[in-house]
Chain A
Amino acid sequence: MQKKLTLVFFFTLFLCTTFLPIVWMFGNSVYEEGRFSFVYYKDIFLTLKYGKVISNSLILASITTIVSCLIGVPAGFFLAKTNLPLKNIFKICFFIPLIIPSYIIGIAWVNLLGKTGFLNNVFSQYTMLSPESISDFIYSTYGSSFILSINLFPVVMLVTEYALKSINPRLEESGLVVGSVFQVFRQITFPLIAPAILSSMMIVFVLSLSEFGVPSLLQVNVLTTQIFTQFSAFYNEKAATAIAFPLIVITFVLIMLEKIYMRGKSFEISGRSSSNSTIQYNITWLNVVGITFCTFVMIVCIIIPLSTLIFNTKTLSAYHDAILLARNGITNSILFGSIGATFLTFIGFFLGYLSENIRSRLKSSAAIFIWLFFAVPATVIGVGLIKLCNRPEGIFQFIYGSLWIVIIGYVARFLPLSSRIMANYLKQIPQSMEEAGTVTGASWFRILGKILFPLQGYGLIATWLISFMFCIGELGTTVLVYPPGSETLPITLFTIMANSPTDIVSALSIIIIVMTLLPVGVFLVVSKYLVLKPKLGFQ
Chain B
Amino acid sequence: MNLWDLNVNDSALVDEIKSNNPKNTSILRDLGLVKDSAVRCLYKTLLGGPRVFEINGIVCTLCCDSAKQVVVKTG
Q: Do A and B come from one complex?
A: no
Task: Give me the interface of B with A, judged by CB distance under 8 Å.
Answer: none
